[in-house]
């Protein structure tokens, strides 16, 4: 079995990737379990040094990794470079962790009581196709830092940068077996991470539907699980905001990465009293978005990841869809889809379901209470933005919106030093931030009797 990677910008051949079967996945998991024992025994400073060397190898390969991502996923080259450098940064950040997994000494009678953060063993990381190498790093870097081995299953559509990261790990001197990238089908390799008793935790990023199945599967062994799932996040623009700035920046909060972003603010809630003024500025901004050849340095938005995904995005739109206006995109071969602004009713499918493409639903609201009600009227709760000049309103609304990652007067993207994850059906657990390595450990309490 194999998968043919095609460049989504022009439909040319990129690579043929061999798929592992379940037996090969089992062999890799066994090798990882073996490698983990030695890795956990290393002095913390030596594990830290090994991760810094891995980061340095990623740093010297940034151009190459960026080119691979642009060819495989269609990401604009400037964005791909940022993604590769983000992988380096995440590795550098967590290279400080092995020496800082500090336990507690708890006062008790009759002896000494201390806690240890013990590694889990082998961790299975399953990634989606939208941000292949960055999401992989959010799992493997803190997991390795905490003394675990990692097996990584990239999405079938986008394996190339993850496979390169596997090579770079070895070239940097990480032990054989410690970090392995296993291309294959979700239902084969990913499924083994869930069912194999040697894998002690699964970190899954992807659709809510598959995430629920993984959680149910992990329950069988009480296996640890972190889930980063879908979203239908709201960008809320109040009448007291800098409406011009909110309109000028809104396209990038939902059309970046062609809308293939779990944090995309795909619902745009605008207070009715400034609706027309906002839409005027928003239309100008949408039409100015540079959609085109991802190899071009000036390009802001590339194609969708595959022709199959374009079909899925297009299925949300038909002749009856209330389209307000659209941006532009190239014609001819490639998975192109123009940025699209729609004005549906609140309950319409296009306003409630995750599309994962460059489509935004604009919905007017009346007042603060209405905005909060509407923002929370979804099974998801991942991210969101709030635009207001009223400090009190910024505080009230950011505390009231049910979402894991909010920003006021910006569309803050992910930072590796702050926690990331979802409320409700957007996920379970958190990634990134200072605590991430702890999520790859078990707390052990030991009492040493004094007599």
Q: Is 229 in the site for ligand NAP (CB under 6 A)?
A: yes
CB 285 within 8 A of CB 246: no
Which residue in 356, 365, 387, 440 binds ligand NAP (CB under 6 A)? 356
> Which strands sit side by side in the sheet containing 234-237, from one edge to the other?
323-326, 340-342, 359-365, 267-271, 234-237, 383-387, 405-408
Task: Assign 192 to helix, strand or coil.
Answer: helix
Q: Count the Cβ atoms, other than its own, within 10 Å of residue 408.
A: 18
Write the interaction track for ligand NAP spanning residues 235-274; mark x where CB under 6 A is met and - where it is not: ---------------------------x------------
User: Least distance (Å) from ligand NAP to the CB of residue 216?
Assistant: 11
Of residues 234, 449, 305, the one with CA closest to residue 11: 305
Beta strands in 127-221 (DSSP E): 149-153, 179-181, 199-205
Which residue in 121, 139, 230, 384 binds ligand NAP (CB under 6 A)? 230
Rank residues 155 and 342 by Cβ distance to ligand NAP and give the closer one: 155
What is the DSSP code (8-state) at residue 19?
A: P
Rank residues 3 and 252 by Cβ distance to ligand NAP and give the closer one: 3
User: Least distance (Å) from ligand NAP to the CB of residue 436?
Assistant: 14
Longest dimension (CA), the chain: 82
Task: Assign 198 to helix, strand or coil.
Answer: coil
| Phi-psi map region of 124: left, alpha, beta (phi>0 left; psi -120 to 50 alpha) | beta
Length of the chain: 451
> Of 368-397, which residues contact ligand NAP (CB under 6 A)?
382
Which residue in 79, 354, 375, 394 binds ligand NAP (CB under 6 A)? 354
CA separation (Å) from 216 to 17, 43, 195? 30, 37, 11
45 exposure class (CB count in 10 Å sphere: 0-12, 13-18, 19+): exposed
228 labelled catalytic: yes
Catalytic residue among 218, 262, 263, 329: 262
Write the interaction track for ligand NAP spanning residues 414-433; mark x where CB under 6 A is met and - where it is not: --------x---xx------
Q: Is 128 in the site for ligand NAP (CB under 6 A)?
A: yes
Helices (H), ranges, 1-61: 22-41, 44-60
Using the rule CB under 6 A, give the single segment among 77-85, 103-111, 144-152, 226-234 that binds ligand NAP.
226-234
User: Least distance (Å) from ligand NAP to the CB of residue 246?
Assistant: 24
User: Least distance (Å) from ligand NAP to the CB of residue 205?
Assistant: 5
Rank residues 52 and 213 by Cβ distance to ligand NAP and give the closer one: 213
> Of 151-210, which residues contact ligand NAP (CB under 6 A)?
153, 155-156, 185-187, 190-191, 205-207, 210
Question: Interface residues with ligand NAP (CB under 6 A)?
Answer: 126-130, 135, 153, 155-156, 185-187, 190-191, 205-207, 210, 213-214, 228-231, 262, 354, 356, 382, 422, 426-427
Q: Which residues are catalytic?
A: 228, 262
């Amino acid at each position: 079995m194999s998968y043919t990677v095609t460049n989504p910008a022009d439909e040319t051949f990129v690579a043929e990737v061999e798929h592992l079967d379940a037996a090969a996945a089992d062999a890799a998991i066994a090798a990882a379990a073996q490698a983990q024992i030695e890795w956990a025994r290393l002095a913390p400073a030596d594990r830290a040094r090994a991760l810094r060397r891995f980061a340095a190898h990623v740093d010297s390969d940034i151009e190459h990794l960026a080119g691979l991502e642009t060819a495989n996923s269609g990401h604009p080259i400037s964005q791909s470079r940022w993604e590769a450098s983000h992988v380096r940064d995440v590795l550098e950040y967590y290279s400080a962790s092995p020496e800082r997994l500090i336990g507690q000494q708890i006062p008790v009678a009759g002896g000494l009581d201390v806690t240890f953060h013990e590694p889990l063993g082998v961790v299975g990381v399953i990634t989606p196709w939208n941000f292949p190498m960055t999401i992989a790093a959010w799992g493997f870097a803190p997991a390795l830092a905490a003394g675990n081995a990692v097996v990584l299953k990239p999405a079938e559509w986008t394996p190339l940068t993850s496979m390169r990261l596997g090579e770079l790990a070895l070239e940097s001197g990480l032990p054989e077996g410690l970090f392995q990238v296993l291309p294959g089908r979700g239902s084969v390799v990913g499924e083994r991470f869930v069912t194999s008793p040697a894998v002690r935790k699964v970190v899954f990023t992807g659709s809510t539907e598959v995430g629920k199945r993984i959680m149910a599967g992990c329950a069988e062994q009480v296996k640890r699980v972190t889930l980063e799932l879908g979203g239908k996040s709201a960008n809320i623009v109040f009448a007291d905001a800098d409406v011009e700035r909110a309109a000028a920046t809104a396209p990038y909060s939902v059309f970046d990465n062609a809308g293939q972003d779990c944090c995309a603010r795909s619902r745009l809630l605008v207070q009715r009293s400034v609706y027309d003024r906002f839409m005027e500025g928003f239309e100008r901004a949408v039409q100015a978005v540079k959609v085109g050849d991802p190899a071009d340095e000036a390009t802001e938005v590339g194609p969708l990841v595959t022709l199959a995904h374009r079909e899925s995005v297009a299925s949300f739109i038909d002749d009856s869809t209330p389209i307000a206006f659209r941006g532009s995109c190239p014609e001819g071969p490639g998975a192109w889809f123009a940025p699209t602004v729609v004005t549906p009713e609140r309950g319409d499918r296009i306003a409630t379901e995750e599309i994962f493409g460059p489509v935004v639903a604009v919905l007017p609201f009346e007042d603060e209470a209405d905005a909060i009600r509407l923002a929370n009227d979804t099974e998801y709760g991942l991210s969101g933005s709030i635009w207001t000049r009223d400090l009190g309103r910024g505080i009230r609304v950011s505390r009231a919106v049910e979402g894991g990652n909010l920003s006021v007067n910006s569309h803050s993207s992910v930072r590796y030093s702050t926690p990331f994850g979802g409320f409700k059906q957007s996920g379970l657990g958190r990634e990134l931030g200072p605590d991430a390595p702890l999520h790859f450990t078990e707390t052990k309490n030991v009492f040493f009797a004094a007599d």
